[in-house]
Chains A and B, each alone.
Chain A
Amino acid sequence: MDHGQTMKLLKWMTFLILSLFVIIVALTFSQETARNLEKNFRKNIIRSFEDSGMPTQLDDIEISFWPLLIKWPLLNIARNSASQLPNSWLQIFKSIKLSNCTLSISPGWFRFNAELQCKEVYVRHLQVRWLEVESLNSALSRDFFFVHSDFRNLEGKQRWWNIILKTENLIINGKNISHFHLNYYFSSHTELVIEWPNLKEKMHLINEPEQLRVVFPGVKKNYGFLSHSLHAEINSLWQNSL
């Protein structure tokens, strides 16, 4: 291919890519596109939580493209049914209700930023009992174990997202916290970082073969959720020693 031919090919390719881009942008202005996207978004959210045994209520979604915003009056995720793994660490959360929320998405450096701003967030969770192990300088969860695939799935879906959660009112098991602000992101395949910017605090959740290790920077003691089989073994040792 000579120089002229190459230039011609390049021009055509540029033209095609630009045309495709223009078509996609034009489609985003159509009401029909937004309606279809709202329907799909709702279905996907409900299905993905229901697959994990959590019936979900999500109504009246509104999506706008410029800027990219998703709004809903109520998202209620409840854990009513019995799980196949009743003591998995995710079972700690029993229900989460997010009211009057706006999710805005914007591109950042190597990540997308998703900011979820809600009027009220209501969380109900079970209490976690810990067993102190002095020689390990750690506290291990007595009742809940860690499932690696849960962490891997979360990491697979949110690896490229920086999630910001802001709410005017957070109610955890009936206790009120106003102006709550939380960020979380994956710093690697095996580490999830959770930050509370207002409190200037951080927490690292580290996926290790034996456990999900919970580390607070500056604090020497760790917390851990053991893997399923180690938890069962160690639990039976505790039962025998009691």
Chain B
Amino acid sequence: MQKKITGSFLKYIGVWSLLICLIAVIMWFYYYSTISANSFWLDQYKLIEFSREILDGELRLVGMRTSRLNFNFPMIHYLLTPLIAITASPWAIYVSAAVAYMLGILIMGLTLLKHRPFSELLIFVSLSLTHVWSLYYSSFPWPPNYIPLFLSLFFICFFKYLKNSKNVWFFHAASVFLNIIFQLHTMSVVLIIGFVSALIILGKLPRYRHWFFQVWIQLILVCPWIIYHIFFIDWANEPKYHSSLFKDFLSPAEALINYLSGFGLTREHTLYLGYGTNTFPYENFWFNWLSVGGVLILLILLWTLKQIHSLQKGRVISWKVIHLHLLPYSQEEKDFNKSYPIALYCMFMPTLFYIFSGIVMFPHYFQFLTPLLFLMVAVLPGQLESKTFRKIAYYGVILFIINQGSFSYWRSWEEYNSPYLDDIGYTKVLAYKIAKECRDKPQIRFLSRREIKNADEMFHYRFDPQFESLNRTGTEDCHSIMVFQNKLLLQSPIVSWYLQQLEPLKKMEVYNNQIWITGKQ
């Protein structure tokens, strides 16, 4: 008996170590290339500056404004404050999003290894390490990008509660994590609906005193935002908030497919992307390839929902039954192999409300599906009795993993090979070049297919300290500098023609980018 326990423990440690090594190697390869090649917008600036204000004793009651001009919740600033206290480097904040994502995969992986079949762990980890949007969003700081870590923590607590509903503290912990997720992005409110419906359907509602206790905790967590809106806000000077409800009935479905497949990231410019990867000359190939993946995952998802739906007991819907289900621990589902997939199903289903809402949506609105989606897909093969169907499910999932992984890792290579020099990791490269060549501090201009833009405040926020710290040995009066990717010359005949009209004083090349000293034109 002792031998058996030691053997399984060793196997457990072995698999766990292997998993950590695998995640570390793959993630290192991905993040090494992509974190440096990320843009820096006003939102990242505010994340850093608002957290600094908290450190200076100015406690924030609300977060930054949303694109609809209303205020976000302040949770993210409090979460980042300890990190800002240690380091002021924006780069460290970028790394924190990646570390949070990895941590989420590791702890969720550990839970699956302990409680679920090994195949589920493999599928979960493979999807987490390849899914296009999830990986992309985990490479820079933005409030919704920390959701996967907290959703993993939520699921761990929720599953512990499903296994043993006597330990009601897991219910409270899960609810608190859900509140944090909601504060990181309000579109994840559907997870709260899913959580409550899972508790009702599985007969896991705790005693009434715990309901009330939890409602109080939830109110306390959101009270800074409420207090600000009741006592401090100057409504007379508030801008008019926008509403996007009932505006575009195709947008939610389009954004969901985009989130599932990642095809939106093959475009260099889209709304709320800043700028993505310049996939030229393979843009159409990757778009079509990922669209095929989108259809595949949609079919797998529908199949999973159908299979889990059939797990639920045949029940008559009546007022009496509904009343019974609202009673604590009434008709409780004690079989974890049933309650686990049903819980995932209940958590996912309210997402479909958005499809009919007409809200204008974007892929990042669906970040609350990471890692819920991966956990759901992982349970599919185990729910199939027929060997043939199980094989089809495995092949489908493997194909999707290849589909997503091929683009994700090609993208990271491309970002490494041909970044934009105004990206977070490359401003110092530009600063070094300018310090070496120029006697003055020239105006820096970035050229893309869409526009020629002057380096803005967000660029100078990072560039100026780096530039000032360098030993300036330049002898040229540069006056103006034009920066663009090499591939732009092939990609755009008009821009190429425009560049031919210029007579630069000097042309330089670094990281497949051109830096032209244009002087006074």
Residues of chain A touching chain B, judged by Cβ–Cβ distance below 8 Å, are 1-2, 5, 9, 133, 135-136, 138, 148, 156, 208-211, 224, 226-230, 233-234, 236-237, 240
Q: Nearest residue in A to B251 (C-beta to C-beta)?
A: A156
Main secondary structure of the interface of A (DSSP, over half): helix
A210 touches B521 (CB 8 A): no
Across-interface contacts of A211 in B (CB, < 8 A): 494
Query: A148–B269 Cα gap in the complex (Å)?
Result: 12
CA distance A240 to B315 in the complex (A): 80
Question: Could you say which residues of chain A place their CB within 8 Å of the CB of B492?
Answer: 209-210
A229 to B495, CA, bound (A): 12
Q: Is B11 an interface residue (CB 8 A)?
A: no
| Complex: A1 Cα to B310 Cα, angstroms | 10
Tell me whether A230 and B451 are in contact (CB under 8 A).
yes
Whether the pair B494, A136 counts as a contact (CB closer than 8 A) is yes
Q: Are A229 and B449 in contact (CB under 8 A)?
A: no
User: Which chain B residues (45-88) contact chain A, with CB distance < 8 Å?
Assistant: none
Given A233-B452, A240-B521, A1 and B314 contact (CB-CB distance below 8 Å): yes
Given contacts A136-B497, A209-B268, A229-B451, could you give 4 more A-B pairs where the C-beta distance is less than 8 Å?
Answer: A1-B316, A148-B450, A233-B452, A236-B521
User: Which chain A residues border B452 with CB–CB below 8 Å?
Assistant: 229-230, 233
10 A-B residue pairs with CB within 8 Å: A5-B316, A148-B450, A156-B248, A209-B269, A209-B450, A210-B492, A211-B494, A228-B451, A237-B501, A240-B521
Main secondary structure of the interface of B (DSSP, over half): loop
| B interface residues, tally (CB under 8 Å) | 21
Within 8 A of A (CB), among B305-362: 314-317
Residues of chain B contacted by A233 (CB below 8 angstroms): 452, 498
Q: Is the CB of B449 within 8 A of A209?
A: yes
Q: Known contacts A5-B316, A209-B269; is A227 also within 8 Å of B451 by CB?
A: yes
A110 to B500, CA, bound (A): 46
A133–B452 alpha-carbon span in the complex (Å)? 20
The verdict on B453 contacting chain A, using a C-beta distance below 8 Å, is: yes
Specify which of A133, A138, A210 is in contact with B449 (CB 8 Å cutoff).
A210
Indicate with 1 or 0, residue by residue over B257-296, a CB within 8 angstroms of chain A CB atoms.
0000000000011000000000000000000000000000
- Tell me which residues across on chain B come within 8 A of A209, comparing CB atoms: 268-269, 448-450, 492
Among residues of B, the one whose C-beta sits closest to the C-beta of A160 is: B250
Q: A210 vs B493: C-alpha distance in the bound complex, in angstroms?
A: 10
Question: If the complex has contacts A210-B449, A237-B501, A240-B521, are A230 and B494 also in contact, measured as CB distance less than 8 A?
Answer: yes
Query: A2 vs B450: C-alpha distance in the bound complex, in angstroms?
Result: 59
The closest CB in chain A to the CB of B313 belongs to A1
B489 to chain A minimum Cβ distance, whole angstroms, is 13
Closest beta carbon of chain B to A206's beta carbon, Å: 13
Contact in complex: B494, A226 (CB < 8 Å): yes
Interface centre among A208, A229, A240 (most CB of B within 10 A): A229
The 9 closest A-B CB pairs, nearest first, are A209-B449, A229-B451, A209-B450, A210-B494, A229-B452, A233-B452, A1-B314, A237-B501, A210-B449
Question: How many angstroms between the C-alpha atoms of A224 and B493 in the bound complex?
Answer: 13
A3 CB to closest chain B CB (Å) equals 10
Among the listed A135, A156, A228, A236, which residue makes an inter-chain contact with B497, where contact means beta carbons less than 8 Å apart? Answer: A135
B315's contact among A1, A208, A224, by CB below 8 Å, is which?
A: A1
Tell me the minimal C-beta distance from A229 to chain B in angstroms.
4
Q: In the complex, which residue of chain A has the Cβ closest to the Cβ of B453? A: A229
Cβ of B274 to closest chain A Cβ, rounded Å: 14
A1 touches B450 (CB 8 A): no
Interchain CA distance A9-B318 in the complex, whole Å: 12
Q: Pick the most buried of B248, B451, B497, B501: most chain A CB atoms within 10 A of its CB.
A: B451
CB distance from B455 to the nearest CB of A (A): 14
Contact with A along B465-506 (1 / 0, CB 8 A): 000000000000000000000000000111101100100000
Q: How far is the CA of A224 from the CA of B492 in the complex (A)?
A: 14
